[in-house]
A and B are shown apart, each in its own frame.
Chain A
Amino acid sequence: MLRRDINEFLTQTGPGTPMGELFRQYWLPALHVEELPENDCPPVRVKLLSERMIAFRDSQGRYGLIDEFCAHRGASLWFGRNEESGLRCSYHGWKYDVTGQCLEVPSEEGNSNFCENVKLTSYPLVKVGDLLWTYMGDPARRPGLPEFEFLQVPPEQTYTSKRWQQCNWLQAFEGGIDSSHVTFLHSGGLKNDPLFKGAKGNEYNLNDTKPFFEVADSEGGLFVGARRNAEEGKYYWRITPWVMPAFTMVPPRGDHPVHGHFWVPIDDENCWTYSFDYHPVRALTETERQAMLDGHGVHSKNIPGTYRPAANMDNDYLMDRGAQRRGETYSGIAGIAMQDASLQESMGPIVDRSKERLVPADSGIIKARQKLRKAAVALRDEGVTPPGVDPEHHKVRSAAVVLPQAESFLASSRDAVTVTPGTPQASI
């Protein structure tokens, strides 16, 4: 249960809100790099943290993310012409560069300096890995670029997809640190999904449906350990890291690639889910890459030309009651990503957490909410930089390990949950 005012505090991320200011302390994924594939390509509308922007790549290959609307009369620059190192409004020809600086106002006399005083709000847009990242906060506080491992490995070892999720970011994110739903909602995937099946750890998952949990602070957020019985005298641990504000990794299975998510608020009722798979020491196989493109694992099959999943609320997520009866899927929805999204979206755009009945197994969620709120308050009241801003905090891994029962999951897995480039993930 969460008080209604705290629920609003955590779910509102627009300009001027405490959580909005918290998000604005971090580099955030703004676009997939494929959305701006070449110089002078069509501009793309972007909405993040309830701000409408336009992204473009100019003639020199520079990326820009600027206010969507022309300073002149408020027309959308999506209709603009991306040419000759700038984006020109199609209405009256005003032209802007990637910093939002107005370069030309054709109606002015040639020696007018009027346009020098016209500048649209802009944010940096930088390619790191397969994503274009932006920082929407105070330039004086801009941190170093993100250093998550999925961004650092060679391109042949990583894959990232993107999908629109029609609910508030928090209820999507909370699914990422809730390990207890896997045994139910994703039980079909553990047996059938090409990016999950075949791992020894799956047997532990399926044989023990009542995991125990340990939740521990990390420098950047939390580690959530879910423990199930393994062989005599041993536990199977699945360790999920959360790096604030919205990065989580799924513990690995066998030699399958490691996956995870980054949730970014579009506005208070929609978010982007960026889902990645990477392998720390080898290239993804063609079969694995094709499975990701086909929407297996944590990825979704999207409507071509969009980031909207093909199975979505408008078609009841292609519910298949027959597959549900046959046990092929637990909920009747195909694909792990849409199994999660369908239930999270069914809660409504912003779920009323004052009506919840949480149980101790939800302690990861309880703790994460507390950390978010405390960080937002400390930032607002004292200017304290929140956890997860420092790129050093990004160098974490998920892990799946079998340990003697007496051992602490964190003390025994310190190396396993820390990125060491060129070493494989700890996985069962």
Chain B
Amino acid sequence: MSPFPSESAWAASAGEARYRIDGTIVSARNARVIALDERAASVARRVADGPWAQAGFFTCENSGPAGDGDEIALRGLDGVPSTLAGLLATDPDVVVVLATDDTGRAQAAAIGRACGARAIMTAGVVLGDGFEADDAVAALRPYARVLLLSADESDVFELLTALRV
């Protein structure tokens, strides 16, 4: 006779936890991280050293109008130039935008629009005291499924880790 009065009690017991299927979790998020300004680029360089399976880190070269976004000039941390259209063609499933001030406001909106048009999840991490990047936050808001407003740059690392990037 079972010592448990119900199937739920039995199934939720510590002993039964041992029998959860322990399958390998193979697919990581295919993430692209775009730093919109100089300080954000410094953060991206530090975070890029992490143990990422499928992540690409880019800085945003433009500071002027962003047009429809596809032609926004990006540069990988290895110095290789790219465009937003080229980056999105690599089939990412999440694009994380980093900002610390408002210089990339137009690019933020354009990246959000371009990702939205391709049904690619967009997340924004805005580092600082919350005031220097007001416009960037407002520009990202319509598109970014998540906006993390933070004073802590380790949030970027934590977010990518939690997402299994």
Taking the closest CB of chain A, its distance from the CB of B8, in whole angstroms, is 4
Q: Are A346 and B8 within 8 A (Cβ)?
A: yes
Known: A212-B146, A214-B147, A405-B141. Contact between A360 and B12, CB under 8 A? no
Main SS class of interface, A: mixed
Give the number of chain A interface residues (Cβ < 8 Å): 43
Q: Whole-angstrom distance from the CB of A369 to the nearest CB of chain B?
A: 8
Chain A 55-84, CB-CB to B under 8 Å as 1, else 0, gives 000000000000000000000000000000
Q: Which residues of B contact A317 (CB under 8 A)?
A: 8
A223 to chain B: closest residue by CB: B149
Is A213 interfacial (CB-CB < 8 Å)?
yes
Within 8 Å by CB of B145, from A356, A361, A408, lies A361
Cα distance A318–B145 in the bound complex, in angstroms = 36
Bound Cα distance A367, B16 (Å)? 30
Cα distance A356–B4 in the bound complex, in angstroms: 27
**Closest CB in chain B relative to A168 CB, distance in Å:** 11
CB pair B148 A363 closer than 8 Å? yes
Considering the chains assembled together, what is the distance between the CA atoms of A371 and B63 in angstroms?
A: 34
Q: In the bound complex, do residue B14 and residue A355 qualify as a contact, i.e. CB atoms below 8 Å apart?
A: no
Set of chain B residues within 8 Å of A2, measured between Cβ atoms: 162
In B105-136, the 8 Å CB interface with A consists of 121, 123, 130, 134
Task: For residue B163, give the distance in angstroms from its CB to the closest CB of chain A.
Answer: 6
B-side contacts of A303, CB under 8 Å = none
A358: CB under 8 A from chain B? yes
Determine the chain A residues whose CB is within 8 A of the CB of B154 once the complex forms.
370
- Chain B residues, Cβ within 8 Å of A405: 141-142
Q: Check B77 for interface membership: any CB of A closer than 8 A.
A: no
Q: Give CA–CA (A357, B150) in the complex, Å.
A: 23
Residues of B within 8 A of A313 (CB): 6, 8-9, 12
The residues of B that contact A215 with a CB separation of less than 8 Å are: 146-150
Cα distance A316–B164 in the bound complex, in angstroms: 34
Does the CB pair B25–A355 fall under 8 Å?
yes
A214 and B9 within 8 A (CB) = no
Does A1 interact with chain B (Cβ within 8 Å)? yes
B138 touches A406 (CB 8 A): yes
Q: B residues engaging A (CB < 8 A)? A: 4-9, 11-14, 16-17, 20, 25, 94, 121, 123, 130, 134, 137-138, 141-142, 144-152, 154-155, 158-159, 161-164
Q: List 8 A-B contacts (CB under 8 A).
A: A313-B9, A314-B8, A314-B9, A357-B25, A367-B155, A408-B137, A410-B130, A410-B149
